[in-house]
Structure 1
Amino acid sequence: MSHKKIIMTGGGSAGHVTPNLALIPKLKEKGYQIEYIGSENGIERKIIQEENIPYYSISTGKLRRYFDLKNFTDPFKVVKGILEAKKIIKKVKPCLVFSKGGFVSVPVVIGAYLNGVPVVAHESDITPGLANKISSKYSKKICVTFPETLEHIKDNKGVLTGTPIRYELLQGSRLEGIRLCNFKSEKPIIMVIGGSLGSAIINETIRNSLKELLKNYNIIHICGNGNLDNKLTNVDGYRQFEYVKYELKHFLAASDYVISRAGANTIFELLALKKPNILIPLSAKASRGDQILNANSFKKNGFSIVIQEDDLNTEILLEEIKHLEKNKEIFVRTMKNSSLKNGTDAIIKVIESCLNEA
């Protein structure tokens, strides 16, 4: 077993990959080699290969809580994935597997367990997802983002660490952000971001409200792939992007306010950057409701204003933006005083303590 090699896993959405990206530079600094197991066609493959990290793909099936004909074929894919992962882990001989959840992680975690390799998992949301529920049986420790999550984790395995924040997000330049958007006026800037796939309802509401919004604000709108509106390309004070990568840190630095979905990674980034924000969580119709819980936790802590998707319209949006602007200082102060910090160091501590026990 290599004492300095860690296999990471996690995928299905960008949210199951970005925390791994935040940990990788710190782990490498400490002399660990990182390799990755993910799915054949998941978003994680592209993201990890761009970082020049050795990548192995395995067969994955989705575990659903609802009836679907694929429920009959997917268990075979999961079993196949376990055998493939077991074989890769046996060959690579890592000292530990770090799992970020998502369905691809289940075979990897079980494959590690069958090879006697310790597993540390990380759960971003308040209630553990199905993948992490299964993985927890095979994990030594589960790092959690929210204090509320600890009560859902059995056998004293839960450790409150927060979520890892990508270091480069804290390095943005306000001036560069304004330059990239070519804004001509000094108006405050609102950034709108609807998750890695974009959000039709948020995009539509923002565009319906543009006339009013542009009287007082400049708008940076990250609208998701295929969601640009060509009629709005030359509107003064409005800039739309399908997806941003290196620009994101500069856009965040330039923004006075942020309107966002309520995925755990994003909201903890807003907290770390102390950006007054309005959260519009994915509705329970389109998800298992984890974003609603995340958003309500942030509202309760005084970090965010929350608008439920079903209540979203131009009138409510404009009203809440006014409210956000009026209470800007209070929100910033509350975020500054929060004990929820960047989780990178805390997670690495958990990894190293598991290695010392192994």
Structure 2
Amino acid sequence: MPNSTHSPSGETEQRRILFTGGGSAGHVTVNAALIPPLLAQGWKVSYIGSKNGIEKQLISRLDGVDYYGISTGKLRRYIDLENVKDPFRVVKGVFQAYRLIRGLKPDVLFSKGGFVSVPVVIGAWLNRVPVIIHESDLTPGLANRIAGPFAKRICVTFAETAKQMKDGKSIHVGPIIRSELRKGSAWKGLQRCKFTPGKPVLLIMGGSLGSQRINQAIRRNVAALSKTYQIIHICGKGELDESLKGVSGYRQYEYIHDELPDALACTDLVISRAGSNSIFEFLALRKPMLLIPLSKQASRGDQILNAESFRQAGYCEVLQEEELTDDALMAALSKVFRNRDAIKTQMQQRGQADAIGRVMSLIEETAR
């Protein structure tokens, strides 16, 4: 793939790509998967996100990426005085993004979504920079619905999504999986957690922001779960339980970065929310899942649709948050454990498409 163009004077110019997306890890991981191969091919990579969001934390871990923070609003599904201020923050963010993009002169903008992406997409459109949007969930989120009219192409993860969208812009690329996740060592994962080989490992992940409902349910049942499993509990920032430190066979973390590939490599079963990026990564790694999607009261219902699609495909069991009791949790997890071999067989039927290659080709085509 070419990484440069020739100016009218005949000099070679470096290709430039701008990324945006944030608010949660799910709005960053796809970008984080695409950035290293683009850097390796000689692209100049910049990123616009919020000033203090999780995207700044995650992208700052990547070498060779210039990060810029702008003002941004937040999508809230509850009444709050901040909702009155947010439109002004978004307008301010549009002006900030417009000025940044005018100076950066990217050949293309790749947007993963999240509310921070809206002013960046508009700023790119005002600068006549072509925009590619990526939508992971089965149905588009509000930010991507707002940004959609300004985009040239919209990449989607679920085949069902492309069928529903009749805009002529949508292209099914499949799930984008971070390559480093496939390089984990089960032995290193067990050693780091001081676990015993041979006893199943259960990984609990409530999303980058954690889940108090899931955390509380797991902790109430640690003793019972520990009879069958060794437990890695990723509980979210500020959600560690000091009273459980030192419990044999139970390890809790706010968030796992570099050690995640090893932790996943030694994992046998997963309890998780149903964010698209995470569950497709578990699918790619053949990890049977119990999914507990965010309720409609706390979200737009996208995780419920994601989880149901996976359940119908035979990749998981689903427990709705409204039905999350101790007995229901233990029963649903036992069902996943009993059927784990059948679930893995079903997962193996699914091919491993080169989504990163598809998107990089689309980036090249759009930038040209």
Deviation string, structure 1 residues 79-116 (Cα, Å, up to 9, x no partner): 22111111111111110000010111111111111111
Work out whether residues 94 and 117 of structure 1, in 8 Å CA contact, stay in contact via their aligned partners in 2.
Answer: yes
Alignment of 1:14 onto 2:61: no
Deviation at 1:5, TM superposition (A): 0.4
Work out whether residues 115 and 143 of structure 2, in 8 Å CA contact, stay in contact via their aligned partners in 1.
Answer: yes
Deviation at 1:64, TM superposition (A): 5.5
What's 2:3 paired with? none
What's 2:259 paired with? 247
Pick the aligned partner of 2:311 from 299, 302, 309.
299
Work out whether residues 77 and 298 of structure 2, in 8 Å CA contact, stay in contact via their aligned partners in 1.
Answer: no
Partners of 2:77 and 2:154 in 1: how far apart? 22
Partners of 1:327 and 1:131 in 2: how far apart? 38
Work out whether residues 190 and 197 of structure 2, in 8 Å CA contact, stay in contact via their aligned partners in 1.
Answer: no
Partners of 1:29 and 1:208 in 2: how far apart? 47
Q: State how 1:1-358 maps to structure 2 within 5 Å.
A: 4-52=15-63, 53-62=65-74, 68-184=80-196, 186-339=198-351, 341=353, 343-356=355-368
Distance 1:272 1:46, change over 3 A: same
Partners of 1:82 and 1:159 in 2: how far apart? 27
Deviation string, structure 1 residues 241-280 (Cα, Å, up to 9, x no partner): 1211111111100011111111111101001101111111
Gaps of 5+ in 2: 1-6, 8-12
Partners of 1:113 and 1:179 in 2: how far apart? 50
Deviation at 1:66, TM superposition (A): 6.3
Partners of 1:239 and 1:342 in 2: how far apart? 34
Deviation string, structure 1 residues 208-233 (Cα, Å, up to 9, x no partner): 22222111211111111222222222
Distance 1:135 1:177, change over 3 A: same
Identical-pair percentage: 51
Deviation at 1:184, TM superposition (A): 3.6
Distance 1:144 1:244, change over 3 A: same
TM-score normalised over the length of structure 2? 0.92
Work out whether residues 128 and 152 of structure 1, in 8 Å CA contact, stay in contact via their aligned partners in 2.
Answer: no
Partners of 1:312 and 1:214 in 2: how far apart? 19
Partners of 2:143 and 2:260 in 1: how far apart? 29
Deviation string, structure 1 residues 145-175 (Cα, Å, up to 9, x no partner): 1112124434211111123211111111000
Partners of 1:101 and 1:77 in 2: how far apart? 17
TM-score normalised over the length of structure 1? 0.94
Deviation string, structure 1 residues 25-63 (Cα, Å, up to 9, x no partner): 111222211101111121111221222411112221235
Distance 1:286 1:126, change over 3 A: same
Partners of 1:174 and 1:308 in 2: how far apart? 31
Partners of 2:223 and 2:80 in 1: how far apart? 44
Partners of 2:261 and 2:226 in 1: how far apart? 23
Gaps of 5+ in 1: none
1:317 maps to a residue whose letter is L
Q: What is the total number of aligned residue pairs between the two structures?
A: 356
2:22 maps to a residue whose letter is G
Distance 1:114 1:158, change over 3 A: same
SS in structure 2 of the partner of residue 91 of structure 1? helix
Deviation at 1:67, TM superposition (A): 5.5
